[in-house]
Structure 1
Amino acid sequence: MKAKQLRKLLCLALTGVMLLTGCGQNGDPADTGSTKESGAEDETKDTAAEDGTEETSTEDAGDEDAADSDTGNAAVGEGGKGPIVDEMVTYTLACQLSPNWGNPAEGEFWKKLEEETNIHIEWVTYLETEAEEKFKLLMASGDYPDGFIGGLGGNDNDIITYGSEGIYIPLNDLIDEYAPNFKRRVSEEYPNLMKTITCPDGNIYGMPSVLYNPDIYNNTFINKKWLDAVGAEVPTTTEEFFEVLKKFKEEDPNGNGEADEIPMTFIFSDWGASDHGPYFGSFGYPLAPDYLMIDNKEVKYLGAEESFKKGAQWLGELYAEGLIDRDAFTQDSSGMAAKVSTNTVGVYSSWDTTEAGDFAEDYVALMPLKGPEGEQNALVEGITGFYNGRFIITDKAKNPEILMQWIDRFYESMEVGLNATYGIGPDENKAWYYDENNEIVFKSGDDLPEDQVRGQQQLPFAPAILGDGVEDFLGNPAKNVIVNDMHKFAGKLDSGEWERWPVCYVTVEEKEDIATTETDLMSYSKNQLAKWIAGESDVNADWDSYLQELENIGLSHYLEVKQQIYDRYDSAE
């Protein structure tokens, strides 16, 4: 898969997830709460009718057949093959759909699952644009379903709140006894996943989805033709880099007779892919977008570390020499691309070389630079592919162990996960198939039958573990030579000495306690960094007063709470 296609796919994946789960760090949408309102049940039904979405009454949630069934007949075993119960039972599940998604009741995957398991699902569906409001009304009415799937009801705050109230039931024991597929995949592929899905009270209230989670690095590219023109090699140290940038500025490497060269550019406001963060790895910690790093189990605020000071000073020196683009603080991706694609930029940061257009082949990857004290660290960025609360069982469900065995089928293999979340296969006439080399081919565009478009047969955010096997299918950056080379400089993250902030549950009280402080800290640090790089202020002269202002904002308490959250996460089994 071409790099441009990969980037689009990753961005689309993030966008889709954000639409369903909001933009919080833990995939946590805005808090929907649980307000009790009179007449909520009628209002829920009326609004559903108005927007044309299909809604099935939840009055019979947890069919009496389920209550009366002999669960001793359930097929558990190694992955649970065949029927789960001898006689068909019915459960009601609620989900949210994009406007162009088909109702799961008509989906091929779900129909086949019913035939195999003897579990019939009555679906309650809401358009995602109104799902939050409908969810509030549904919970306030008390007439909620047996369970939620695909993200509806999966807000972290909701999971903690309704779990503590007993509305969402603990799944710990059910997983242990009735989810052999899930336990096997977790133990073999994602041993830390149990920590991610464990709530502060030690209970698990929602089953996760593990989609595509590649390691991605902040790639920086340098113009090799310009290097040849000035007689220089690819720099490996900050000192060599400085000298190369000076040559780019002074020696007309693009050969047009004009002093129009921009030695180095980036997007200061970017969230990671195109920003200045990787350069700080030459002085210790690379600067992560959330300004956090775990160092030997201790939470660090990167804006208060010496690496932040030293990186700011070095970038300030480059800026003072005219080696950094003056537009770096204000430009967006299109502005940067306009320069890179016209052969006027020596070094830039991005996902790939797409922005360079016709000059893309002129650029080669620049590895992390070795700093004055020998530091040479890569920042492992990522597309967060771990999502909590993709399947929740409520206290309305009779014999919830049946539902647990049903959902465990989703985790059986990567192929089942693909059928549930991406498309039906393996079949050359449907969404995906295996080619002669036993590699997955995913059909798209005009090659994909209309009734097989993602969302028509599946629920894209249903529970699943796609795992490493799907990386080839989606275009694995780990097979990219650049990524393999970058990986050599991520040893402290690979070894576990350093960790990025994990996806984990945070209590409502913790979130409210530090939310404003977190925003204020990062805003202050970023503003000061911009001033230091641009030469509007001196980092060495300001440093002590800067640290004091961080304390005034609440840094110590912020780190105390973050440490509490991390310690709880890390101690979960």
Structure 2
Amino acid sequence: MKKRMKKVVLLLLVSFMMLSTGACSSQEDATTAAVGKDADGNVVEIVFPLEETATLSFITNASANSTQNPNERAIFQRMEKATNVHINWTCFVEDQFSDKKNLALAQAKNLPDGLYNAGMSDYDLLRYAKQNVIISVEDLIDNYMPNLKKILEENPEYRSMITATDGHIYSFPWIEQLGSGKEAIQTIGNMPFINKTWLEELGLKVPTTTKELEEILIAFKDNDPAGNGNTIPMSFIINGGNEDVSFLMGAFGEGYGDVVDHIAVSNDKKVIYTAAQDGYKEAINWLHELQTKGVIDPEAFTQDWSTFVAKGKAGRYGLFFSWDSANIVANMNDYIPLPALKGPTGTVSVPRQSGSATSGFDRGRCVLTSNCKNPALAAAWIDQMYTPLQSIQNNWGTYGEEDKFNIFEMTESGMLKHMDLGSESPVEVRQAQNVGGPLAILDSYYGTYVTCPADAQYRLDWIKDIYTKDMIHEYVYPNVFMSREDTDIVTQYTTDLDKYTNQKKAEWILNGGVNVEWDEYLEKLEGYGLSKYLKVKQTYLDNYLVK
């Protein structure tokens, strides 16, 4: 009995506090004690700041151009002061994180308490849960995470999206609402940007068809507006997500174009593999024609992000693709978004990304391991990330850092106001301050806790004013959580399908041959399990649509 009584923490009354800022305001976040029961049924309450310092350990990652010590970031320094929880971090460089993470998870006896910015796919979550490497967290959410619990209660679709078919929750999500449906900011990743300054210098109009674009790219090549042979009419990173060329492919066939996962949904609710459509083949042929005419950057098939950006900052691009032009070029005013083009048969279509209709969402952003010595404390600490002001700062950056560019200023009313980034790259400025991880930013926060980021607002405006009218397909594939068995099947198929599809896409644009090899290509896709893959995807789409 005495042993049990030692585990009991007396219930305390906790006043409202603004954990994320330490400032008092009418907009401060309300934080209450995390109350639950331990394994022996004793009531446990966790109140921040703790009376005595506690320590947790996490693996995370950071971009190469920012600090590799998370405890040097103002956000985590303030968090430690507000909670009295010290974090021992193991931080890997972002582009090495996947391999380093897998190696760490293979050493079960040496696991930390959890992984922050975990980058866990559905396959990872279910595989590591089966191996007892990570633990289920639904009871922790209900007992020790009042902030996340409230978000899930008010937005039940998110609880459904993080719950596996076995009824368990294995991770803490990242949620970012910025628009919805066709107007969600995530609906288009690889937006095309054309150099309007060069168009004006050469007396050219913004193209409206694929033929007109071809003529303009040739004009860029012939007139060399960058000077000294530095002009690159069109550049991209093949199969590079937001920097891929696939947006233009929507002008062919039935307009499915191509997206990262090669999945689209027809208006009669059928799952489509974009890279197996006739329109895809026609688009590849057209892109190869551009390649033979010398208007595609020769490095588009091999370059990395830093090379791509360096050429953009040097003002060499006539047309390029990215999430935001400000991330690539020195003066974004030189560029405008290129509207969807009309193809040879009259098709005009904007391909939409899978999962984009329900806002930005990452299911596997943070997990706890079976080595976690105090899951209740870890959950309560993670829950602080879900207070509105803390989520906002974790996602974008913070305020009040001396001798540094701050993302925000704190207004007298307690609202975080986005600073003018000027000529700064949004992604680089944010990487210097933000910490990412599990968080939730809801549309209701804008105007209450935070202003809408200027770069997000102009991107939302572009989508609404330029692209929405040409989104001819009504559905996108939803963000569903498949069973472990189906996830295993889909992962097996997609590994082979994506590798082969991406390889052939690059080869055909560069060297041609799609017409000759097309039938053999389709047969090989089928050999890799395309029909079985689509059948599984269709089953989950059907179930989602009847809910």
Regarding TM over 0.5, the answer is yes
Q: 2:114 touches 2:369 (CA, 8 Å); kept in 1?
A: yes
Deviation, 1:310, is: 2.3
Change (3 A) 1:419 1:67: farther
In structure 1, the residue matched to 2:388 is: 414
Amino acid at match of 1:348: F
Instruction: Provide the rounded CA distance (Å) in 1 between the counterparts of 2:134 and 2:546.
Output: 20
1:95 aligns with 2:58: yes
SS in 2 for 1:312: helix
- Root mean square deviation of aligned Cα: 5.4
Change (3 A) 1:467 1:543: same
The percentage of aligned residue pairs carrying the same residue is 26
1:194 aligns with 2:190: no
Deviation, 1:288, is: 1.2
Instruction: Provide the rounded CA distance (Å) in 2 between the counterparts of 1:238 and 1:176.
Output: 54
Instruction: Provide the rounded CA distance (Å) in 1 between the counterparts of 2:489 and 2:403.
Output: 53
Q: 1:109 touches 1:424 (CA, 8 Å); kept in 2?
A: no
In structure 2, the residue matched to 1:210 is: 175
- What pairs with 1:341-380 in structure 2 (closer than 5 Å)? 345-350=317-322, 351-352=324-325, 355=328, 357=330, 361-371=333-343, 372-379=345-352
In structure 1, the residue matched to 2:286 is: 314
Change (3 A) 1:178 1:295: farther
In structure 1, the residue matched to 2:258 is: 287
Amino acid at match of 1:264: P
Change (3 A) 1:95 1:324: closer
Change (3 A) 1:369 1:177: same
Q: 2:350 touches 2:472 (CA, 8 Å); kept in 1?
A: no
Per-residue CA distance 1:546-570 (angstroms, 9 max, x = gap): 21221123222233344456667x4
Instruction: Provide the rounded CA distance (Å) in 2 between the counterparts of 1:255 and 1:110.
Output: 50
In structure 2, the residue matched to 1:301 is: 273
Amino acid at match of 2:249: F
In structure 2, the residue matched to 1:485 is: 462
- What pairs with 1:152-231 in structure 2 (closer than 5 Å)? 159-160=125-126, 171-172=137-138, 175=141, 181-186=147-152, 192-210=157-175, 215=186, 217-231=189-203
Aligned partner of 2:116 among 150, 174, 180: 150
Change (3 A) 1:179 1:487: same
Q: 2:135 touches 2:369 (CA, 8 Å); kept in 1?
A: yes
Change (3 A) 1:393 1:502: same
Q: 2:284 touches 2:514 (CA, 8 Å); kept in 1?
A: no
Structure 2 unaligned spans of 5+: 17-28, 36-42, 62-67, 93-99, 179-184, 420-429
Change (3 A) 1:168 1:493: farther
Q: 1:135 touches 1:152 (CA, 8 Å); kept in 2?
A: no
Instruction: Provide the rounded CA distance (Å) in 2 between the counterparts of 1:331 and 1:101.
Output: 29
SS in 2 for 1:95: strand
Instruction: Provide the rounded CA distance (Å) in 1 between the counterparts of 2:494 and 2:522.
Output: 15
SS in 1 for 2:512: coil
1:550 aligns with 2:515: no
Change (3 A) 1:153 1:93: farther
Change (3 A) 1:407 1:265: closer
Farther-moved stretch of structure 1 (342-351 vs 158-167)? 158-167
TM-score (norm. length: structure 1):
0.63
Q: 1:377 touches 1:489 (CA, 8 Å); kept in 2?
A: no
Instruction: Provide the rounded CA distance (Å) in 2 between the counterparts of 1:339 and 1:83.
Output: 51
In structure 2, the residue matched to 1:238 is: 210
Change (3 A) 1:406 1:519: closer
Larger Rg: 1
Change (3 A) 1:406 1:254: closer
Per-residue CA distance 1:347-402 (angstroms, 9 max, x = gap): 333431665557x64433312213333322154598965243636497998996x9
